[in-house]
């Protein structure tokens, strides 16, 4: 299971790295989660430089792809070299977009009539691309999921785990990262966000 977390210049640290942390709760030899970048390193919206663990060339080999968010996403959406490298196939890959990552999904033509989640800042740009935006943290239709608000990133990660390793594995990963004293309430809310979409194949 290769999971690529697409992380661009100007990235939001929370979106890429919360997903990475939760996904890495699965401790199996075949399970590999990479920060996947267009360059050898990327620098976040707050000046944190992270080295790439893989490059965009790895996207087609990935079983799941998380599209991270950031403050330069509108520029990336216009960058034909980068957009041409994001080769996604929802018939065989799980595809999850976080916040402004939803804009890239829309521009890649992968949403079609599927409604989506994003953050409040990105919302008008995705709407302009013709996509209905939902006032909720998480939505999935078949193999495509979207989330809105940085701290919805655990929901996206849990959805990928639930779809591949099962519900209990997803709950266990969420339980580990949840605040002490709030673990049950956190897991319950997270699972309520994703459970009803786990077995849908609509759209």
Q: Binders of a copy of itself among 150-169, rule CB under 8 A?
A: 150-152, 154-155
* Residues between 94 and 123 that touch a copy of itself (CB under 8 A): 117-120
Residues between 169 and 198 that touch a copy of itself (CB under 8 A): 176-183, 186, 189, 193
Q: Does 9 engage in binding with a copy of itself (CB under 8 A)? A: no
Number of residues this chain uses to bind a copy of itself (CB under 8 A): 46
Q: Of 47 and 202, which CB lies nearer to a copy of itself in the complex structure?
A: 47
Q: Judged by CB under 8 A, which of 3, 33, 97, 103 binds a copy of itself? A: 33
Pick 51 or 89: Cβ nearer a copy of itself = 51
CB of 80 to a copy of itself, least distance (A): 28
- Over the chain, what HEC string results? CEEEEECCCCECHHHHHHHHHHHCCCCCCCCEEEEEECCCEEECCCCCEEECCEEHHHHHHCCEEEECCECCHHHHHHCHHHHHHCCCCCCCCEEEEECCHHHHHHHCCCCCCCCECCCCCCHHHHHHCCCCECCCCEEEECCEEEECCHHHHHHHHHHHHHHHHCHHHHHHHHHHHCCCCCHHHHHHHHHHHHHCCCCCCCC
35 forms part of the interface with a copy of itself (CB under 8 A):
yes
């Amino acid at each position: 299971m290769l999971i690529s977390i697409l992380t661009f210049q100007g990235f939001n640290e929370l979106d890429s790295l919360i997903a990475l942390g939760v996904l890495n709760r699965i401790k199996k030899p075949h399970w590999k989660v990479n920060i996947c970048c267009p360059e050898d390193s990327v620098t976040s919206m707050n000046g944190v430089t992270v080295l790439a663990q893989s490059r965009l060339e790895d996207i087609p080999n990935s079983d799941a792809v998380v599209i991270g968010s950031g403050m330069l996403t509108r520029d990336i959406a216009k960058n034909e070299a980068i957009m041409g490298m994001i080769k996604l196939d929802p018939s065989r890959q799980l595809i999850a977009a976080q916040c402004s990552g939803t804009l890239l999904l829309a521009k890649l033509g992968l949403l079609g009539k599927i409604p989506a989640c994003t953050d409040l800042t990105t919302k008008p740009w995705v709407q302009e691309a013709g996509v209905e935006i939902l006032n909720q943290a998480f939505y999935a239709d078949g193999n495509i999921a979207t989330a809105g608000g940085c701290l919805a990133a655990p929901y996206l990660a849990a959805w990928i785990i639930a779809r591949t390793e099962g519900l209990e594995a997803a709950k266990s990963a969420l339980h580990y990262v949840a605040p002490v004293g709030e673990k049950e309430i956190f897991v319950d809310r997270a699972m309520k966000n994703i459970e009803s979409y786990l077995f849908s194949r609509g759209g």
